[in-house]
Amino acid sequence: MKLRKVFPILAISLLAASPVAAMPVKVTIENLAPAKGNYFTPVWLGFHDGSFDIFDAGGFASPAVQRLAEDGNAAPLDNVFQVSTTNGVSGVLSSPNIRFAPGDVATSGIFDLDPVDNQYFSYMSMIIPSNDAFIGNDNPAAYQIFSNNGTFQGLDLFILGNSSVMDAGSEVNDEIPVNTAFLGQTVPNTGVTEKMPIQLHAGFNPKGSGGILDDPMFDNADFTRTGYPLAQIRVEYAGDMKPVSTPIPGAAWLFGSALFCLAGLKSKRK
């Protein structure tokens, strides 16, 4: 049996356009990977009206997607979301150790959501270690948490590695430690530039090639195996939870284990 470790969100911020119509929800994320499997960075979350498209498979990664996929930096994506989304709500969910290790669980405080403006859910996170592997939803309307008549229906999403891990196509997958987040990279954006379209990731270099899978810490990190469990995301009603009322700092940046990650959480209603 895998030991589950439950962690709170690092920080949360609340703002609602209509307190009467808003519904309180919580988000829970668990890393389902096996021991010595994949880690992933703090997960960017966005609630919107169905119009916010993070990326398109077959197209090229935007600068914001590149920064998250290569360095775990969610701030550029969040900035794009805030500028382009009316009454959107966003945040970054993290474990106390910043990244999600296999078995880690994090549960947010309350997001107050409007059934119309925040009808759909989107997410993105970097797979580590990697050059530019990530998970996220291509279709902005893939996850509808409120029905068209405003009824909350929530979400229980299981993410499988072999069908969900994407390659941003912006950095060569050389898996050289100095270019690979979490292995030996010490500054962001240091890999070899590549100009390929976003596509399903082909997987790490085979064992024996000196890459990620040869590191004993990642002996079970081959996410291309059929049915490889990677993550679970749940969006649930949180009427029994108390709102977070303490002041929240702005985006804080930490550099640890060769990875830039957003340590704070930002939420904005316009």
Find the mean pLDDT for residues 155-163. Answer: 96
Measured CA to CA, the distance from residue 141 to residue 139 in angstroms comes to 5
Mean pLDDT of the chain: 84
pLDDT: which is higher, 239 or 227: 227
Q: How many other C-beta atoms lie within 10 A of the C-beta of residue 264?
A: 21
Domain span at 196: 5-262
Q: What is the structure's pLDDT at 240?
A: 67
Q: Indicate if the pLDDT at residue 49 is higher than 80.
A: yes
170 domain-assigned: yes
**Which residue carries 């969006």 as its tokens?**
235
Find the mean pLDDT for residues 141-163. Answer: 96
Q: Indicate if the pLDDT at residue 197 is higher than 90.
A: yes
Measured CA to CA, the distance from residue 95 to residue 145 in angstroms comes to 24
Residue 96 — very low, low, confident or very high, per pLDDT cuts 50/70/90?
Answer: confident
Q: What is the structure's pLDDT at 257?
A: 35
191 domain-assigned: yes
Find the mean pLDDT for residues 120-143. Answer: 97
Name which of 138, 127, 122 is nearest 70 in CA terms: 127
What pTM, to 2 d.p., does this model score? 0.84
Q: Indicate if the pLDDT at residue 15 is higher than 60.
A: no
Q: Indicate if the pLDDT at residue 239 is higher than 90.
A: no
By percentage, how much of the chain surpasses pLDDT 90? 72
Find the mean pLDDT for residues 238-253. Answer: 42
Q: How many domains are contained in the chain?
A: 1
Find the mean pLDDT for residues 173-187. Answer: 86
Q: What is the structure's pLDDT at 178?
A: 87
42 domain-assigned: yes
pLDDT: which is higher, 34 or 269: 34
268 domain-assigned: no
270 domain-assigned: no
Residue 247 — very low, low, confident or very high, per pLDDT cuts 50/70/90?
Answer: very low
Tokens of 98: 């910043």
Which of 7-16, 26-35, 118-127, 132-141 is predicted with the least confidence, judged by mean pLDDT? 7-16
Count of residues making up the chain: 270
Tokens of 24: 């309180």
Give me the helices (H) in the chain, please. 63-71, 75-84, 161-164
Residue 187 — very low, low, confident or very high, per pLDDT cuts 50/70/90?
Answer: confident
88 domain-assigned: yes
267 domain-assigned: no
Q: What is the structure's pLDDT at 13?
A: 34
